[in-house]
Amino acid sequence: AEEYNLQPKTLHMAVALVDRSLASVTGTDGHKYENQCITSTFNASYDDTTILSKGGFVVNREMLQCVGCACMLLAAKIEEVKPPSADDFVYISDSSYTRQQIINMEMTICGVLSFHLQCVTPHQFLPRLLRASSASRLSLAPGKYFIRDEVLEVMVQYLLDLSLQSYDLVRQKPSLVAASAVYLARATLGRREDLNIPLTRPTYRSLHMAIRENGGFWSDTLEYVTGYNVYDLEDTVLAIHELHSKAETSDLKSAFSIFRATKYKKIALRTVVPVHELAFP
């Protein structure tokens, strides 16, 4: 996605297509591997020689990258104005697959999914959530219009990309993952709601305690727009927070490497908020 300047939502749709394609797969040994391979990292419990099949859809471990290329090609055709070609994915895969193999896999996935390619991803909720996040007295500038919080947007994008690495988060509703990423981004960047406590030095401790005890990273507006309260978000926020805290030392460093660049405001280098400061009740 970064190589060809694809939109972030294209990557998330591609991952969703991979997950759906590999879901409910049965091995030749008769064991059903449903929900064990619904992950982009493919942490399955069978060996490399096991062949997986679903109604003629056969995938061995050597062809998994081909599945990824085909799903990215499909997602790009849906989301992008000028999608990459199959030849581009031959180059990206270092000629591991031919152009015809990628096209054949693309057609196979369309058949497996019965051409139901559109799917809901967290990105579809972001424009409304980010606008709702700005609808607080501390986040608004004087005047009539909202200010776009670009740093918050990049942080949310970074957290959502990290969420792709989690097997558990695949099962969560995309709207919940999006809302949790916004909550954690606000907590990490210190985007708090106005608790009607004067921001003076003598009351700083009072403000800090009020935020810790009553929250401050989630607003009535966000609760209304998302339908989620702080209690609904807690488990998912903690799951994304764990990925965030381990991003620099993880074996999967792609997201961290990308988002530490100046282009992304070096957002990956921001200090991770301690878990006890997430202000959950």
Q: What's residue 36's pLDDT?
A: 38
Same topology for domains 8-112 and 122-277, yes or no? yes
139 C-beta neighbours (distance < 10 Å), count: 18
Residue found by looking up tokens 């280098």 in the block: 269
Q: What's residue 109's pLDDT?
A: 92
Residue 67 has pLDDT above 80, yes or no: yes
Q: What's residue 146's pLDDT?
A: 58
Residue 30 has pLDDT above 80, yes or no: no
Residue 140 has pLDDT above 60, yes or no: no
Q: In this structure, what token pair is assigned to residue 156?
A: 């949310």
Q: What's residue 204's pLDDT?
A: 45
Average pLDDT over residues 83-95: 94
| pLDDT, averaged across the chain | 81
CB 154 within 8 A of CB 264: yes
What are the residue boundaries of the structural domains of the chain, listed by start? Answer: 8-112, 122-277
Check residues 63 and 32 and name the one with the higher pLDDT: 63
pLDDT digits (tens, 9 = 90+) for 11-20: 999 999 999 9
142-151, 197-206, 261-270: the lowest-pLDDT one:
197-206
pLDDT digits (tens, 9 = 90+) for 114-136: 899 999 999 999 999 999 998 86
Instruction: Express as a percent the part of the chain with pLDDT over 90.
Output: 61
Q: Give the architecture-level CATH label for domain 122-277.
A: Orthogonal Bundle (1.10)
68-77, 173-182, 185-194: the lowest-pLDDT one:
185-194
pLDDT digits (tens, 9 = 90+) for 204-255: 444 444 444 445 899 889 999 999 999 999 999 999 999 999 999 999 999 9
Average pLDDT over residues 71-81: 96
Q: What's residue 71's pLDDT?
A: 96
Superfamily grouping for domain 8-112: Cyclin-like (1.10.472.10)
Q: What's residue 4's pLDDT?
A: 82
Q: What's residue 58's pLDDT?
A: 63
Q: What's residue 22's pLDDT?
A: 84
